[in-house]
Amino acid sequence: MYFAVVLSLFGAGSGPAIAPTSPDTTCPSRNVPLQGRKSPLDSVTFNIASKPVKVCYGRPSARGRTMLGGEVSYGKLWRTGANEPTIFYAPVALRVAGLAVPPGVYSLYTVPGAGEWEIIVNRSTSQWGEESSYTKEVKAQELGRAKLKTEALKTPVETFTLKAEPTGDKAASLMLEWEKTRVKIPVEAGK
């Protein structure tokens, strides 16, 4: 119920996001049956300044394909997962990859590259995740973009994974891992 209310408040074309009171235990599914998905929904929750930040995303698997630089083209906008765009819930003001993010609900897009990824925080959360859904109206709701270097993983990751690593009471690294690539997104309490 909570997510239905949040999604109705924060559809494409809506104004600034409003802070959720607390993250729900489930992620939105945009009325797509969970059992029919090739890529399951998952979430990661971590604390910033003693408040839970929740990230909901689809987890595609490589299944023998080259994903980064192949199915997920370098230099092109990506929904940062499968199905819907990745969504995160900020219960407090944050800095995400250096971008000021007020409390609210946001989508997280990326533009992958071989050595650097562009991180995009957007107020719009109701669009489907594909690049064609990222219209000029959706783009107009961007809070900003930031570039981060990639790290090489020694052991390949078959299924796209997000995890968080605390870096202090008021900070964490949100790590995107897939194949032999890791991107660490610094998340910290805003000022």
pLDDT digits (tens, 9 = 90+) for 99-154: 999 999 999 999 999 999 999 999 988 887 677 788 899 889 999 999 999 999 99
- The pLDDT of residue 15: 34
What is the secondary structure of 7-66 as a DSSP string? Answer: HHHT-TT--S----SS--SS---TT--GGG-SS-EEEEEEEETTEEEEEEEE--B-TTS-
* Average pLDDT taken over every residue of the chain: 83
State residue 30's pLDDT score. 54
Domain ranges of the chain: 2-189
Q: Kindly indicate the confidence band of residue 28, based on its pLDDT and cuts at 50, 70 and 90.
A: low
pLDDT of residue 7: 34
> Is the overall model pTM greater than 0.85, yes or no?
no
- The whole-number pLDDT of residue 35 equals 57
For residue 160, what are the contacts with CB-CB under 8 A and spacing of at least 6? 39, 57, 58, 59, 60, 61, 67, 81, 82, 176, 177, 178
In this prediction, residue 2 has a pLDDT band, given cuts at 50, 70 and 90, of very low
